[in-house]
Structure formats: C-alpha cells, structure tokens
Amino acid sequence: MLSGVATGAYAVGIEPIRQPRVKRYQLVPTNWPAGLKLRLVVLADIHACTPWMSPQRIGEICQQANALGGDMILLLGDFLSGMRLRTGHVEPEDWARELARLSAPLGVHAVLGNHDWLDDPGAMAAGRGPTLVHGALASINVPVYDNRASRFEKDGQPFWLAGLADQIGPWEGLDDLPATMAQISDEAPVILMAHEPDVFPTVPERVSLTLSGHTHGGQIRLFGYSPVVPSRFRNRYVYGHIVENDRSLIVSGGLGTSVLPVRFGSPPEIVVVELG
C-alpha cells in the first residue's frame, strides 16, 4: 500500500513538474543534402495551468531551450490547459509573455493543437478562428503554420518548413496536407510540423522529417508501453524516432499534461534534432 501511495505521489507531485530533460536525436534523412547541418529545438504540449505549468515555469523552460543553441525553435501546439481537473487558469497573454523569451537565428515557429481549439469556447461557438492562441502568438510575432510552407536558407542551403492545421479539433479537423505540399516549389528538403502523429502514414517521401507531439509519450509509460494513447494507432506512434519506408517521424514526449496532471515513466522533455 505504501509503495502505491509513493508511486502516486511521484506521478502527480514530482515527475510532471521536474526540469525537462533534453532528448537528442541525430539523423541524416534520405536525400538530405550534403553540407546542410540544422539544429532544431522542439517544445510540445505546454498546457499552461497552475500549479503544474505556471508562467514562471514556462519562462524557465524557455531559458533552457534558448541555451541549446537551435537554428530554429519549433512549438508543436497545445498551449491551452486541457485539464478536466480544476486548476488555476493562465491567461494566454501571460504564457505568451514568457514564450517571447525564445530566440533563434532562423526564428520561432508554431502549429496549433487540438486543445487550442477545444478549450477555446469562443472559437468553437463561432465555428472558426482566429483562436485565442492565434492572437497570443501573433502578439509576440510567432507565425502559426495553418497548412502553410515557408522556404529558408542555412549557410546558403535551402530547406522548407511546413506545418499543418490541427487534425482533430474542431469538427473533422482543419489539416490539408496536399494543399500544404503544393506550396513547395523546388527540390529542397522539407520539415513538417504536425501536432498529432496520426497523419504520418500519408506523409509523402518528399518530406525529410515529420515532427509531432500530442501523445505525451502516453503520460504513463511502463516498460516501454503506454496503456492509454490518444491516437488511433495506439503505441505505433506514441514516442520517439519512428522510421517507416525510409520516412522519419519524431514524436516528443512533451512538457505538460492533459486530462489529469500525471506523468510516470514519461518525464517532460525538450527535443533537440541534429540534421545532417
């Protein structure tokens, strides 16, 4: 009995609020151009709420992320709480003020997650955006990639950053992968941000790397298995670096929690991806 109480106390009171670990991946995707080296720092699933993800903690995470020296910082959605348990509310302008600390040579870029719609009563009632999160990110000049692609260069080498609108909320989802890919006008490599990893089976080989969050690594992970995963593919895309048919997907375990403030065997993390 005591061991069960101790485990529960750790899962609620310690692991969800510990300093994020840094999870590093190094890969050279298929057809990645020689000489293009790119470091991506990825933050997913902040889920701002008190006491677990206060503005102060978000600010500390931003400082930690900046110190990792990314060429780009990518935010993979779910900024709003998503908690069924009553917690302290954090206004979007308060967490946005902390995210404004983020800085990288090639900028900070974002997609929205399902809770950024589902937990926004005004946007859901109106049946359209912009959402509270759109407004908060616009106020700190962070672009949101709603089915959008933009071309960048690093050391004279071009690449594309693309992002999908959310696949779940609202209604049938707002993502449009074909329209997003149609914006890419040359053969430079493509990095795709997609909050939910479920789109991965339909991502073309043209995309060098897909980056997702949403699953939180299951939030509870026992011996490499998560009993509850918010994905129709269950543990197939729950966490980590997945390679299928020479296509790469990295799923972050994320930073916050949703539904319940519990993490066990899936600590908060910042992802660093070294490409090339």
Residues 258, 212, 42, 151, CA torsion sign: negative
Q: What is the reported pLDDT for 2?
A: 33
Whether the CB-CB separation of 182 and 230 falls below 8 Å is answered with no
Q: How far apart are CA 51 and CA 13, in angstroms?
A: 10
The alpha carbon dihedral of 141, 130, 167, 85 has a sign of: positive
Domain 2-275 has CATH 3.40.50.300: no
Express each pLDDT in 117-139 by its tens digit. 999 999 998 878 899 999 999 99
Annotated domain spans of the chain: 2-275
Mention every residue, 6+ apart, whose C-beta is less than 8 A from residue 39. 68, 69, 70, 71, 72, 272, 273, 274, 275
Q: Model confidence over 43-98: pLDDT tens digits?
A: 999 999 999 999 999 999 999 999 999 999 999 999 999 887 768 899 999 999 99
CA-based nearest residue to 43, from 269, 209, 261: 269
Mapped onto helix, strand or coil, the DSSP state of residue 210 is: strand
Burial 210-240 (b: 16+ CB within 10 A, else e): bbbbbbbbbbbbeeeebeebbbeeeeebbbe
Does pTM top 0.95 for this prediction? Answer: no
Q: Quote the crossing angle between the two packed helices 55-66 and 92-99, to the nearest 10°.
A: 20
pLDDT tens, residue by residue, 198-241: 999 999 999 999 999 999 999 998 888 888 888 899 999 999 99
